[in-house]
Amino acid sequence: MAQVPDHKQKLREICRVAARVFYEKGYEGASMQDVAQAVGLTKAGLYHHVGSKDRLLFEIMNYGMDILDETVLQKVKDIADPREKLRQTIIGHINLVVRARDLEITVILHENRSLTGPLRKQINARKRAYIKNLENLIAQVQAQAGGKPAISPHLAAFVALGMINWLYQWYNPEGPIKLEELTQAYVDFFFRGMQV
């Protein structure tokens, strides 16, 4: 992972704590005072770091996308075989979603109704780039498999995102289904569904 500069580390720390506050009280229900208190800053200090409540929400979502890039895309970037790359992308994304550490951030990332205007557009552009990357990978796997694709890369990408992102609703890594079992079952299901 690339070295993260100090001021970015501080911002990330604020984002993690703020995400927990927003997750618990709701974005609209939580005040900047609540966040400042949880982070251990004065309200003025918090505003100095993040500018505004809108901007803070944006930074949390942006951080969520950074985590996705760093823990999923970076890890697979040197894999040449499309099939193995897709497999590892799915596994990486599952690991991220079920990892308790960033639960609040990944949940908030998908509740993007509160973000508006240009900030929302920026986050949506990053989400679209992630999806586009997944679609390209799926298309490569289908091309390698040959024959007529069973599903469009676009729909297949959203099937994958739905299966995986929904995990936070029900899956508990401490429960009866081991993470390895879940991951294997999901990858196998997805490749069978793709017919590749």
- The residues binding a copy of itself (CB under 8 A) are 23-30, 110-111, 113-114, 150-152, 154-156, 158-159, 161-167, 169-171, 177, 182, 185-186, 188-190, 192-195
DSSP 123-181: HHHHHHHHHHHHHHHHHHHHHHH-SS-SS-HHHHHHHHHHHHHGGGGT--TTSSS-HHH
Closer residue to a copy of itself in complex, CB, 50/194: 194
Least Å distance between CB 99 and a copy of itself? Answer: 17
Least Å distance between CB 8 and a copy of itself? Answer: 28
Cα–Cα dist 38/22, whole Å: 11
Least Å distance between CB 159 and a copy of itself? Answer: 5
Cα–Cα dist 46/130, whole Å: 30
- Which helix (H) or strand (E) segment is 112 a member of? none
Least Å distance between CB 80 and a copy of itself? Answer: 27
Closer residue to a copy of itself in complex, CB, 14/30: 30
Closer residue to a copy of itself in complex, CB, 45/175: 175
Closer residue to a copy of itself in complex, CB, 125/189: 189
Cα diameter, the chain: 62
Closer residue to a copy of itself in complex, CB, 125/185: 185
Least Å distance between CB 45 and a copy of itself? Answer: 24
Short-list 89, 130, 154, 167, CA closest to 194: 154
